Amino acid sequence: MITKLNKGPHLKYEYYLVDTIPSTNTYFKENYKSYKDKSILIALEQTNGRGRYDRIWKSSNNDIIFSILLKENKNYAIIAPLAICLGLKKYNIKAGIKWPNDVYLNNKKLSGILIEDIFNSKFVASIVGIGINMTDKPSLYGVGLNINKDKFEIIDSIIEEFDKLLDLNKSDLIKLYRDYSTIINKDVYYQGLTYKVVDIDLNGHLVLSNLKGKITVSSDEINIKESLLKYENKN
């Protein structure tokens, strides 16, 4: 059963809580018409959590699981990972963004974000699904927050930052995103050549450079994890 919470420092956001659900993203995809812009669904457990590229997203007890329903079209791929990093800074956790939108801590994945857009000839809604590990996941090379804090408080802190970021223009957002990026200056192997990651442009694309010049690639064109690994294996 989904219950509406009478809470949140941000009254613009409506909070809902469910004990167990297949996936908070799937729920909003199927029921977005019944919910207002800026509704948040928090689940204590997900039985069919979904990740990017049709992967499964497994959560353990106490992990943070929520989705935000947004009816305005904004650059959530930039905003969401930044909101997580900024929201966690309050707890002295120095997380960074592994382009395009994974959040890493000490070189391991802390949080994943699944953004799904609904179009009906024009933009209708975006669903920003966020999963954050509270405990380490050795088998998945995942790291947990490992802090003794109420997860609703952590979600509030992230939402507070998310809300502030909604007002920033694209170039200020990208500037901030660059500050939190963990891959600038890293070497990657792409289409048979090695490059250095030199920037993230205003479209959120990666700018790669080598002696031959610069190229830009979107997240559909490069699998950054594999490209970093391939580079490491080559050297």
Which residues would be at the binding site for ligand BTN (CB under 6 A)?
A: 23-25, 46, 49-52, 55, 57, 65, 67, 102, 112-114, 129-131
Give the C-alpha distances (Å, rounded to integers) separating 187 from 49, 92, 195, 200, 231. 32, 29, 6, 14, 7
Report how far apart the first and last C-alpha atoms of the chain are (Å, whole number).
53
Least distance (Å) between residue 155 CB and ligand BTN: 11
Least distance (Å) between residue 101 CB and ligand BTN: 8
Do residues 160 and 82 touch, judged by C-beta distance below 8 A?
A: no
Do residues 43 and 15 touch, judged by C-beta distance below 8 A?
A: no
In terms of DSSP H, where are the helices of 146-209? 151-165, 170-180
Least distance (Å) between residue 213 CB and ligand BTN: 32
Residue 124: which of 234, 231, 37 has the closest Cα? 37
Q: Helices 76-89 & 151-165, crossing angle to 10 degrees?
A: 130
Distance CA 8, CA 162 (A): 13
Closest residue to bound ligand BTN by CB: 112
Least distance (Å) between residue 5 CB and ligand BTN: 17
Residue whose CB is less far from ligand BTN, 62 or 194: 62
Residue whose CB is less far from ligand BTN, 144 or 187: 144
Give the tokens for residue 74.
């904004």
Least distance (Å) between residue 44 CB and ligand BTN: 12
Burial of 2 (0-12, 13-18, 19+ CB in 10 A): middle
Unique residue bearing structure tokens 């031959």? 212
Q: Helices 76-89 & 170-180, crossing angle to 10 degrees?
A: 50
Least distance (Å) between residue 56 CB and ligand BTN: 9
Residue whose CB is less far from ligand BTN, 81 or 93: 81
Residue whose CB is less far from ligand BTN, 51 or 144: 51
Least distance (Å) between residue 163 CB and ligand BTN: 19
Residue whose CB is less far from ligand BTN, 27 or 195: 27
Residue whose CB is less far from ligand BTN, 24 or 195: 24
Residue whose CB is less far from ligand BTN, 43 or 195: 43
